[in-house]
């Protein structure tokens, strides 16, 4: 089937689970009650995606507070009690982050509950997201390793452990989120892709990397205004990603200033093309989705296109996010009849 649909990963959390419409949202309950609420929300996320004709569903990232810090929840060597303020993504924003204070080690599974809950309740393909090593170490303070690369590879090993376990849980696609890949271009080529490959080592399920210009929050939309009319940052890194073992690349395409011809640099890769803008509450029409897919088709063979959202929808209003998922599913169906 052409143009299978997926989403970047996160969906808005129901207000009975966490504070709505914000990142790092505080949970509404704790202990066993919170565990049940996370599970219920995961089932709901899966159902909403199925109803919207999303083919490759995610757990909606219901069980994690943040796409990076969720992975850190079950790791030894991290001090969550003494968070420090740090500029992240080259100081684009400040965040209170935990500190690495000793060698990092997985205490056990991180995402088993939500992965298994999602797997048990859908027959669709299941994609699971993890932070990429570079983005991870860019979102935590280092009081131990004293070296970004060393710390990235330490985390890459842990990511690999969890990724292999997720694969054993029945996950079909493991996607690493690397928004830092459009901030530190030289480091991406020097070690970022190698660290990513270390995180994906030995996986036999599909592997993907999501690079992006971030959620639709103000710090990001302000930053995008400084990037000029054409966002050509990827010109430097796509050839290196093309040469890597990662099979799929997710790139924002809707309302994006990334020149789509750059996708031609990713020869051989499956492109998860963002056809839904998460930085606006304006809901796309199915026609809009077809238009974006058609534009991507000029640079990517159509059997290598997956339709997705530009980025996660965690901070959005639920009704808008759900309407956008519906547009995604309906638009891909329309594209199959028009362009198939
Ligand atoms: Zn993103």
Quote the strand ranges of 72-137, DSSP E: 75-88, 93-106, 125-131
Rounded to the nearest integer, the mean pLDDT of the chain is 95
Handedness of CA 17, 59, 5, 55 (dihedral sign): negative
CA of 16 to the centre of ligand 1 (A): 25
Select the more confidently predicted residue: 87 or 240.
240
Q: State mean pLDDT over 253-280.
A: 95
Strands 305-309, 206-210: pairing is unpaired
Helical pair 31-51 and 318-339, crossing angle rounded to 10 deg: 30
Question: How far, CA to CA in Å, does 80 sit from each of 14, 67, 105?
Answer: 25, 16, 15
Tokens of 259: 């020149």
CA contacts within 13 A on the Cβ side of 207: 21
**Digit-coded pLDDT (tens) for 231-245:** 888 898 999 999 999
What confidence score (pLDDT) does residue 226 get?
Answer: 82
CA of 8 to the centre of ligand 1 (A): 7
Handedness of CA 293, 294, 296, 302 (dihedral sign): positive
**Digit-coded pLDDT (tens) for 19-55:** 988 888 999 999 999 999 999 999 999 999 999 999 9
CA of 88 to the centre of ligand 1 (A): 15
Q: State mean pLDDT over 319-337.
A: 98
**CA-based max dimension of the chain:** 56
Contact (CB, 8 A) for 59 and 174? no
CA of 177 to the centre of ligand 1 (A): 7
Is the pLDDT reported for residue 216 higher than 80?
Answer: no
- Residue ranges and CATH numbers for the domains of the chain are 31-71+111-339 (3.20.20.210)
Question: For residue 142, which of 196, 74, 88 has the smallest C-alpha distance?
Answer: 88
Question: For residue 169, which of 233, 209, 116 has the smallest C-alpha distance?
Answer: 116
Cα(236)–Cα(14) distance, integer angstroms: 39
If phi > 0 it is left, if psi is from -120 to 50 it is alpha, else beta; for residue 18 that is: beta
Grade residue 160 by pLDDT with cuts at 50, 70 and 90.
Answer: very high
CA of 209 to the centre of ligand 1 (A): 10
What confidence score (pLDDT) does residue 208 get?
Answer: 98
CA of 81 to the centre of ligand 1 (A): 28
Contact (CB, 8 A) for 87 and 94? yes
CA of 215 to the centre of ligand 1 (A): 6
CA of 335 to the centre of ligand 1 (A): 24
What confidence score (pLDDT) does residue 252 get?
Answer: 93
Is the pLDDT reported for residue 217 higher than 80?
Answer: no
CA of 67 to the centre of ligand 1 (A): 10
CA of 32 to the centre of ligand 1 (A): 30
CA of 11 to the centre of ligand 1 (A): 12
Grade residue 155 by pLDDT with cuts at 50, 70 and 90.
Answer: very high
CA of 36 to the centre of ligand 1 (A): 27
Tokens of 240: 């290196």
Select the more confidently predicted residue: 42 or 184.
42
CA of 210 to the centre of ligand 1 (A): 6
Contact (CB, 8 A) for 134 and 187? yes
CA of 66 to the centre of ligand 1 (A): 12
What confidence score (pLDDT) does residue 297 get?
Answer: 98
Alpha-carbon Rg of the chain, whole angstroms?
19
CA of 274 to the centre of ligand 1 (A): 10
| Least confident stretch, 161-170, 224-233, 289-298, 319-328 | 224-233
What confidence score (pLDDT) does residue 218 get?
Answer: 79
CA of 189 to the centre of ligand 1 (A): 20
Looking at the DSSP assignment, which residues form a beta bridge with residue 249?
209, 271
Is the pLDDT reported for residue 93 higher than 90?
Answer: no
The DSSP 8-state label assigned to residue 26 in this structure reads P
Select the more confidently predicted residue: 267 or 67.
267
Tokens of 74: 């079950």
CA of 179 to the centre of ligand 1 (A): 6
DSSP 3-state of 183: coil
Give me the residues near ligand 1 (ion), CB cutoff below 5 Å: 212, 311
Cα(118)–Cα(51) distance, integer angstroms: 15
Instruction: Give burial (CB, 10 Å; 0-12/13-18/19+) of 318.
Output: middle
Is the pLDDT reported for residue 214 higher than 80?
Answer: no
Q: State mean pLDDT over 272-296.
A: 97
Instruction: Give burial (CB, 10 Å; 0-12/13-18/19+) of 20.
Output: middle
Is the pLDDT reported for residue 88 higher than 90?
Answer: no
């Amino acid at each position: 089937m052409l143009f299978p649909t997926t989403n970047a990963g996160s969906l808005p959390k129901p207000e009975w689970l966490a504070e709505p419409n914000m990142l790092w949202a505080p949970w509404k309950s704790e202990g066993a009650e919170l565990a049940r609420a996370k599970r219920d929300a995961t089932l709901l996320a899966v159902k909403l995606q199925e109803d919207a004709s999303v083919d490759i569903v995610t757990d909606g990232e219901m069980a994690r507070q943040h796409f990076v810090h969720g992975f850190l929840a079950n790791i030894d060597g991290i001090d969550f009690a003494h968070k420090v303020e740090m500029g992240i993504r080259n100081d684009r924003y400040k965040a209170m982050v935990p500190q690495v204070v000793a060698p990092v080690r997985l205490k056990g599974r991180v995402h088993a509950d939500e992965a298994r809950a999602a797997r048990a309740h859908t027959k669709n393909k299941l994609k699971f997201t993890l932070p990429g090593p570079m983005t991870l170490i860019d979102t935590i303070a280092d009081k131990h390793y004293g070296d970004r690369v060393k710390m990235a590879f330490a985390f890459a090993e842990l990511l690999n452990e969890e990724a292999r376990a997720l694969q054993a849980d029945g996950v079909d696609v493991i996607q690493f989120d690397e928004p830092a890949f459009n901030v530190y271009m030289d480091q991406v080529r020097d070690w970022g892709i190698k660290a990513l490959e270390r995180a994906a080592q030995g996986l036999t399920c599909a592997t993907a990397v999501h690079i992006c210009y971030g959620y639709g929050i103000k710090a990001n939309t302000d930053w995008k205004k400084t990037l000029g009319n054409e966002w050509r940052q990827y010109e430097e890194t796509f050839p290196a990603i093309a040469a890597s073992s990662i099979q799929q690349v997710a790139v924002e395409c809707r309302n994006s200033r990334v020149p789509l011809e750059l996708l031609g640099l990713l020869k051989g890769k499956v492109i998860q093309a963002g056809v839904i803008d998460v930085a606006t509450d304006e809901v796309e029409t199915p026609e809009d989705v077809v238009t974006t897919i058609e534009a991507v088709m000029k640079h990517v063979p159509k059997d290598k296109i997956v339709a997705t959202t530009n980025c996660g929808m965690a901070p959005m209003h639920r009704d808008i996010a759900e309407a956008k998922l519906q547009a995604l599913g309906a638009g891909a169906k329309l594209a199959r009849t028009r362009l198939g």
